[in-house]
Chains A and B, each alone.
Chain A
Amino acid sequence: QVQLVESGGGVVQPGRSLRLSCAASGFTFSSYAIHWVRQAPGKGLEWVAVISYDGSNKYYADFVKGRFTISRDKSKNTLYLQMNSLRAEDTAVYYCARDFPPGIRWNYILDFWGQGTLVSVSS
């Protein structure tokens, strides 16, 4: 069955960095675009970034451009989110989510989600 398992969250000071991982299994990882979506405590969903099936294209929400980098490793079936210059407002549960259907272009339809990893930015 499709599984996405995030890891790497934790408590970090403002201005520091953190790298999140999302391990995928149960489907052909290299065929799907994958997204990061976050949810601040008690708040709604906020889309963060997407990477194409082959890693050649990436797109970011304005509020993370220049600070976050999305990448993927086909050999490890793993997605990453490198987060630099973290701010208090980046505090959230970060989910990875699969794009549907598979293809060259992403569609933003998120058909499977991981359980999320909590990032807390605090001094």
Chain B
Amino acid sequence: EIVLTQSPGTLSLSPGERATLSCRASQSVSSNYLAWYQQKPGQAPRLLIYGAFTRATGIPDRFSGSGSGTDFTLTISRLEPEDFAVYYCQQYGRSTFFGGGTKVEIK
């Protein structure tokens, strides 16, 4: 089982600022099988990024993914009001596990 640790737990930022979210795996993620999801209160998760850096259909280019091996990053270049939410990383391949989430809140 690969354990994903997301940091920070909470990120307090203002609209227009840059957000950098980290996802660290307990062992190397094969083939960069790493995805990111956004979840707003009372809503289902939404796929943002898969394959570590490929944006899902309709996702704005202010969202970008990077990293490899055990360290991955989701970057939101300039926060829009609708971006304040919880973000989860997910490792997939033979099985799948999610990280504990990072909440991006308005400062």
- CB closest chain-B residue, reference A95: B44
What are some 14 contacts across the A-B interface (CB < 8 A)? A45-B37, A45-B45, A45-B90, A45-B101, A59-B95, A100-B50, A108-B92, A108-B93, A109-B50, A110-B37, A110-B45, A112-B47, A114-B44, A116-B44
How many residues of B sit at the interface, in one of the four size bands? 20 to 34
Closest-CB distance, A94 to chain B (whole angstroms)? 11
Cα–Cα, bound, A41→B100 (Å): 13
Tell me whether A44 and B56 are in contact (CB under 8 A).
no
A108-B95, A116-B44 given; name 17 further pairs at CB < 8 Å. A44-B100, A45-B45, A46-B98, A47-B95, A59-B95, A95-B45, A97-B45, A108-B96, A109-B35, A109-B47, A109-B50, A110-B90, A111-B47, A111-B57, A113-B45, A113-B46, A114-B44
- What is the 8 Å Cβ interface bit string for chain B, positions 87-106, against chain A (1 contact, 0 not)? 01010110111111100000
B-chain residues with CB within 8 Å of residue A82 when the two chains form the complex? none
- What is the 8 Å Cβ interface bit string for chain A, positions 55-72, against chain B (1 contact, 0 not)? 000010000000000000
Total A-B pairs, Cβ < 8 A: 51
Tell me whether A44 and B44 are in contact (CB under 8 A).
no
B-chain residues with CB within 8 Å of residue A45 when the two chains form the complex? 37, 39, 45, 88, 90, 98, 101
How many residues of A sit at the interface, in one of the four size bands? 10 to 19
- What is the 8 Å Cβ interface bit string for chain A, positions 74-114, against chain B (1 contact, 0 not)? 00000000000000000000010100100000011111111
Q: Which residues of B contact A (CB under 8 A)?
A: 33, 35, 37, 39, 43-47, 50, 56-57, 88, 90, 92-93, 95-101
B-chain residues with CB within 8 Å of residue A116 when the two chains form the complex? 44
* A30 located at the interface, meaning its Cβ lies under 8 Å from any Cβ of chain B in the complex: no
